[in-house]
Amino acid sequence: MQKINLALLGFGVVGQAVYELLSKNATRIAKITGFHPVIKKILVRDLKKKRKISIDKGFLTTDFNEILSDEEIKIVCELMGGLEPSEEYILKSLHQGKAVITANKALLSERGEKIFTKLNQRRGYLGFEASVGGGIPVIKTIRESLIGNKIHRIVGIVNGTTNYILTQMQERKMDFAKALRLAQEKGYAEADPSLDLKGIDSAHKISLLASLAFNFFVPYDWVYVEGIEKIQLEDLEFANQFGYVVKLLAMAQRVKGKLEVRVHPTLIPEKHILTSVRLNYNAFLIEGDFVGNILLHGLGAGGYPTASAVVSDIVDAIKYIASGQNGLTIYPLYEKERKKEFRPIEECIFRYYFRFQALDKPGVLSKISGILGRHGISIASVVQIGRHRGKGAVPIVMLTHETKEKAVRVALKEIEKLEVVQGETVMLRLFEEKG
């Protein structure tokens, strides 16, 4: 049986999990593919660093060129993360004719134009299943299983850190800061969790899924992004009173010929299937014209689930190489003019949740509702909690009927200038199924 050599760039949590998986299941993979995958070299920063896995130091190198120049190495797995030197290493590996696998969603969503263009200009293989959804095969599902469908919509809970935090707040009545600390203690949040909390990680992922669904490259900076930093426990409790659960949603969809690709915290009806996605789990709801709605659900991060996706791509790379590099290798191209197809968030139409902090005085509600009315914003429900002491700020919570975001933004700026309104208003959008 033939062996096929590969190299790992990076030997952190994911790299070590890939090593473990191949050590355990390489024989099984060989029986299926006819090729035995062998890790020949591993690029690391520090040869002396202590690692969970005991490994012969002869496999390790700090010199990428040692991998690049080795013609026996056919597959390169970039598992380092970051933009540089990852981009350089991927481009050089592709130029040398090596198949490349990456879990680097930030790199692909921010610099995919250059990488995908190079792949389409000359034959090459890039596998990136592990970049979105951990062990959930969402990329392969869109690229292969649903290839006969026109994708109308992808709605996802794509970040395990924020979902874990919101679950703890919702179920255990924790405040945001305590839920974040717990996520960090459990290893679900980084010491600096800003990429997760600000929605940036989710935006990287939905940009790649949108690129595959709409058949052209959707760069990260075309995605509208809001995070969960401003959400407080009382917002989740008020949402529950109205029959909703708050989740950070990533969405890519066509609406009346326009494209919307966005990430923001959203109120979802409590009976919707996505509200059952708890803790650090991810889920993807995909709607195609022939398949209808399908749901993919599972662990979206972690060494072992991500390693599973990486090895799936290794197997596809082996098939690509064995076929004489004649496999299906079409990648989404950047088309600048397609930006005109995108609907700006200001033109999108939603129902809204507002939480104002207002002084407990007579006439406050009428002032707020008057401004909303002048801007064509109709109120559906109101909860006003007064202290009846004539001083201090109290919450006024509203749900609206459908209205355009542009009108909402103008109205809220006007409301926040009122002397009776304290601080910034919390504004969240509602998710509702059409039809």
Contact between 94 and 87 (Cβ < 8 Å)? no
Across the range 133-140, mean pLDDT stands at: 94
Residue 132 confidence (pLDDT):
97
State the DSSP code for 231.
-
Kindly report the CA angle at 80 between 75 and 85, in degrees rounded to 5? 90
* Amino acid letter, 335: E
Task: Name 16's Cβ contacts closer than 8 Å, sequence gap at least 6.
Answer: 51, 52, 53, 303
* Amino acid letter, 102: T
Distance, in Å, from the CA atom of 255 to the CA atom of 59, rounded to the nearest integer, reads: 52
Across the range 133-154, mean pLDDT stands at: 95
The label of the residue with tokens 């990852």 reads: 86
Across the range 338-367, mean pLDDT stands at: 95
User: Three-class SS string for 328-381?
Assistant: CCCCCCCCHHHHHHECCHHHCEECEEEEEEEECCCCHHHHHHHHHHHCCCCEEE
Contact between 83 and 115 (Cβ < 8 Å)? no
Q: Quick check: 327 pLDDT over 60?
A: no
Contact between 4 and 73 (Cβ < 8 Å)? no
Tens digits of residue pLDDT in 225-247: 999 999 999 999 999 999 999 99
Global confidence as pTM: 0.95
Residue 330 confidence (pLDDT):
75
Residue 101's nearest CA partner among 121, 73, 122 is 73
Helix (H, G, I), strand (E, B) or coil at 258: strand
Residue 61 confidence (pLDDT):
97
Q: What's the chain's average pLDDT?
A: 94
- Dihedral angle, C-alpha 326, 332, 337, 341, nearest 10 °: 130
Residue 386 confidence (pLDDT):
66
DSSP H helices, 198-337, are: 200-214, 233-241, 303-322
Tens digits of residue pLDDT in 18-28: 999 999 999 99
Across the range 236-265, mean pLDDT stands at: 97
Q: Are strands 2-9 and 73-78 parallel, antiparallel or unpaired?
A: parallel
Q: Quick check: 1 pLDDT over 90?
A: no
Residue 324 confidence (pLDDT):
80
Across the range 36-45, mean pLDDT stands at: 96
Residue 230 tokens read as 């401003």
CA max distance for the chain? 83
| Long-range own/partner contacts, residues 176-179 (CB < 8 A, 24 or more apart) | 176/228, 176/229, 176/231, 176/232, 176/233
When pLDDT is cut at 50, 70 and 90, the band that residue 435 belongs to is very low
Contact between 389 and 416 (Cβ < 8 Å)? no
Residue 326 confidence (pLDDT):
62
When pLDDT is cut at 50, 70 and 90, the band that residue 387 belongs to is low
Q: Quick check: 352 pLDDT over 80?
A: yes
Residue 91's nearest CA partner among 122, 57, 129, 135 is 122
Across the range 408-435, mean pLDDT stands at: 91
- Average the pLDDT over each of 64-73, 401-410, 426-435 and give the range with the smallest value: 426-435
Residue 205 a catalytic site member: yes
Tens digits of residue pLDDT in 263-320: 999 999 999 999 999 999 999 999 999 999 999 999 988 899 999 999 999 999 999 9
Residue 423 confidence (pLDDT):
84
Per cent of the chain over pLDDT 90 is 87
Tens digits of residue pLDDT in 75-122: 999 999 999 999 999 999 999 999 999 999 999 999 999 999 999 887
Distance, in Å, from the CA atom of 367 to the CA atom of 95, rounded to the nearest integer, reads: 64
The one catalytic residue among 41, 74, 105, 205 = 205
